[in-house]
Each structure stands twice: as C-alpha cells, then as structure tokens.
Amino acid sequence: GILKIVKNIIPEMEIHLSTQANTTNYAAVNFWYEQGVRRIILARELSLEEIKEIIKKSPIK
C-alpha cells in the first residue's frame, strides 16, 4: 500500500527498509526488492554468515 503510494507521488525517491522490519532471509529481501525497496537494513539478530548468504542470493548489494 504505502510503498506504491510513495512510488506514485515521488517516483525518484529511493526507499530504505529499517531493521525494525525484521528482514532475516533472502526471500524477504527479494520480496521487498520487488516492492521497490532498494536498501535494506537486515535484522540485528543475524550472524555474519547468515548476512553473507543473504547478500549472495539477493539483488540488493
């Protein structure tokens, strides 16, 4: 809902997703990317190995 509204009103705005969204895997990263999010702060509970794995599989660098 709100992401679509933002994209319609301010299409050039880069959307970031907070750690509070609790993004913990690459499927969630891919979902948010498809919604227009271009920067994601991953959940702080993740280990460095989990973060590396998510980075390898996601479209966001």
Distance (Å, whole) CA 20 – CA 45: 11
- Report pLDDT digits (tens) over 35-46: 999 999 999 999
- What do you get for the CA distance between the two ends of the chain, in Å? 25
Span 5-57, pLDDT tens digits: 999 999 999 999 999 999 999 999 999 999 999 999 999 999 999 999 999 99
pLDDT at residue 61 in the model: 67
Alpha-carbon distances of 35 from 8, 48, 54, rounded to whole Å: 13, 26, 18
Going by pLDDT thresholds of 50, 70 and 90, the confidence category of residue 1 is confident
Considering only residues 60 and 28, tell me which one the structure prediction assigns the higher pLDDT: 28
**Domain ranges across the chain:** 2-57
